[in-house]
Amino acid sequence: MPSISTLAESNTLCVVEASSPESVSKVWFRSKPIDRTFVYRAIQLQLQTDSSDHGHDDGLTAGQWSWFEVEEHVWRSHWNRTDPDDTEGSVARHFGFVFDRRHELFDVLKIGHVIGVRVCAKYAGWKNLAKAGRLNAKLLDEDVFSPVSWTLSSDESNDMPLDIPDTIQDGVYTLTTTSGCSLVGTSDQQTDEIWFTTPALQDFTISKLQDIQLFTVAHNPGKSEPGVTGVWSWFDIVVLETPESQIPRVKDGRSLVWRSHDVLPSFDEEEEQTGILFHSRHDIFAHLEPGNVVAVRPCVRFAGWQLHAHSARLVVRISNQGARPEIRKPKVDWEAVTDATQKLHGALSKYLDELTPEGKPPAVSVETALLGQEIRSDWEYGAKQSHQPLRLLSFDGGGVRGISSLYILKDIMAKVTGDPNAKPCEYFDMMAGTSTGGLLAIMLGRLRMTIDECIATYNELAEEIFASTVFAKIDNASDTGARYSAKALEDAIKKIVKRKTGNPDALMRDPDGDCEVFVLTCRADDLSNSVATHMRTYTNGNVEKSFADYKIWEAARATSAAPTYFPRIKLGDHEYIDGGVGFNNPVLLLLGEARVYYGFARPISCLVTIGTGMNPNVVLPNTSSNALGNVGGTLLTLERMWELVTLSEHAHQMAQAISEPGTYYRFNVGKKLAEKRWIESVAPTVFQRWFGSGGKVEEKYTPENWAKVTIALDDYEGMEDFVKLTIEFMKAEVEKVSKAAGRLPPRRLPALIAKE
């Protein structure tokens, strides 16, 4: 039988007085967040008040200018006067409008919503005096909101009808919803809602479930924006712990979530869409337990994506005869995969926060947001046995010091193959780089250079770009605020691209895709909220934009547009600057990209990360049109290098801590450059050029003499010294090189060996 309960009440006086034709109001009292019982069982709602009003105007209709509203969206409950001669002290008990299941108030109510009561008045002199109020609801003793049972004749004690004869093979049940659902994405995070569910499942039902299929009528207006790929409006089938649950059940480290179907922009608003058929051997049936429900969940991801669901039917087939065959259990340790993914997400989030100045919002990355999503049961995440463990290569930024990275990699490749000119793109699955490291990744990965070819090209590039005279630098700074010519950099890169591809305007997107490459850059439109942008040679189907259709020279310019050195570049609607301003060591972002692209469960065999021997992550001064101002700013930058924590090395430490033992290898000549005695012993002539031959040698660096060791970003004449020190440094890294090389077999066997 229905029962009457009080949803909320108040005995506190609330007075609202109007002073103009404008309506005024005040929230008097609210309910607690409503629960599933109310949403599924409430059939009527009524507001009762003990109240009076005061006010009169011959030009207005009496009794119309103070009232009460039930506030969810806003619906008027009742006026506050019946007798024109009422005074302020004439208290009456008012029983407001009875909202029933036919009213839209019940259509929009969701679990967790709050219903409020608002006291209102309008026109000068009108006063609403609310002394006591009560919001009452009539509730049934069983669920009425769709769906509550498989059939009209079934109930909680008997969830399946008993009158189906044995000659009938299956029972097919259709569950529906009585209300629509609308979602609008606001960020990189997923927006979703539990729309409707099955009844709670019992042992008998679970053992006989044969298949489930969702049919919907929904539309998605789409998102017309350059570079957008994929469809980010869809329906999921999920398993909930109980009918009251709002988040998917997690088992063995994975959320019990499976995609039913996408909502394409081409769908008509009246067209029914068909989801996939979850057959009797599907994993969903292996995870169901008594008391669980199967739910329908509409979802959107990324700002601007919408899903408007009008109606749906969930069709469930249940055997009337034998039980369903037992389903095999998964072999992957998904709890370990979840744990590793959470650690990476935590490390990346911390890194992005740490590189942001205090008081500013943390830097953001789409890939980091995706790492924080639920681990779904319908994705393999790279767990197939046929998928080989990944080999990853990361290059730090560092201007002309990037030459050191090439000699380190040459040493490693010589150990792998015996051939120092082996192409790294044939041994690594993915490369990433920032600034000069981005140029190296493009040349070795996208343009498939050998290391010697890359060294020669890199030397050529450095000389062409950084050979400006002092007067040329002043002219450039006066025109653009940067020391070097953007055109010189662009022309030099275009020449290299044409030499390798035949087209100076070749795209980043790689038609062959043997080795995936991305470079890091930073959106310059809002540096208070830095956005790490991956410009790729491939499409990452798990992100909205892959930025793969920019020209190679455009991506190279974007990743190397260091403030005070090169002007920023505008691509599309945004300006980009050197990723080294915030993301100089991309190793954590490389790990995040690899997880999002290849799958959270894909193992990593080897991660090689190469530094440039510097303290690189400094906050560079604002670009100035005054060349002398720029020079002074650079001197300030060099001093701050000594004081700041090296975030590149911190990124290394965090990445190393979350990597599997024996898979992570970091090479950075900078750890030896911190020892003056080592420089003096292995390269006396270099030592003398840097520090002089006389006087006492200090054991510790000062801000001034550290600048001598970390040669300037544009000091291409000092590259030879840096190469000598790198070669000496690698002589002490033989054991580490051997271990890294041992984990780098070629991704494909040579053709002759394969035939044998």
Active site residues: 435, 578
Residue with tokens 């050998």: 450
How far is residue 504's CA from residue 506's CA, in Å, rounded to a whole number?
Answer: 6
How far is residue 489's CA from residue 475's CA, in Å, rounded to a whole number?
Answer: 16
Strands (E), 372-422: 390-395
How far is residue 43's CA from residue 98's CA, in Å, rounded to a whole number?
Answer: 10
Bridge partners for 14 per DSSP: 130
Strands (E), 563-603: 569-571, 574-578
CB 597 within 8 A of CB 409: no
Bridge partners for 47 per DSSP: 135
How far is residue 77's CA from residue 68's CA, in Å, rounded to a whole number?
Answer: 6
DSSP 191: E
CB 190 within 8 A of CB 297: no
Closest alpha carbon to 623 in 491, 509, 516, 527: 527
Helix residue spans in 331-401 (DSSP H): 334-354, 366-371
Strands (E), 232-322: 233-240, 250-251, 254-255, 257-262, 272-274, 293-301, 306-319
Residue type, 56: H
- Give the DSSP per-residue string, 611-671: --SS-----PPPP-S-HHHHHHHHHHHHHHHHHS--HHHHHHHHHHHHSPTTSEEEE-THH
How far is residue 751's CA from residue 756's CA, in Å, rounded to a whole number?
Answer: 9
How far is residue 597's CA from residue 515's CA, in Å, rounded to a whole number?
Answer: 13
Cα 516 to its chain centre, rounded Å, is 20
Question: SS in 3 state form for 236-257?
Answer: EEEEECCCCCCCCCEECCEECE
Q: What angle separates helix 647-658 from helix 334-354, to the nearest 10 degrees? A: 170
CB 290 within 8 A of CB 187: no
- Give the DSSP per-residue string, 426-488: GT-SEEEEETHHHHHHIIIIIS---HHHHHHHHHHHHHHHH---HHHHHHHHHHHSSSS-HHH
Tell me which H or E stretch contains 595.
helix 587-598
Residue type, 678: W
Is the backbone peptide bond immediately before 147 cis, with ω within 30 degrees of 0? yes
SS3 of 76, please?
A: strand
566-586 b/e (C-beta count within 10 Å ≥ 16 → b) = bbbbebeebbbbbbbbbbbbb
How far is residue 50's CA from residue 220's CA, in Å, rounded to a whole number?
Answer: 47
N-terminal to C-terminal alpha carbon distance within the chain: 81
Q: Cβ of 504: how many Cβ atoms within 10 Å? A: 17
DSSP 146: S
CB 105 within 8 A of CB 75: yes
SS3 of 692, please?
A: coil
DSSP 724: H
C-alpha angle 115-120-126 in degrees, rounded to nearest 5: 165
Q: Which tokens sit at 264?
A: 């394409």
How far is residue 185's CA from residue 657's CA, in Å, rounded to a whole number?
Answer: 35
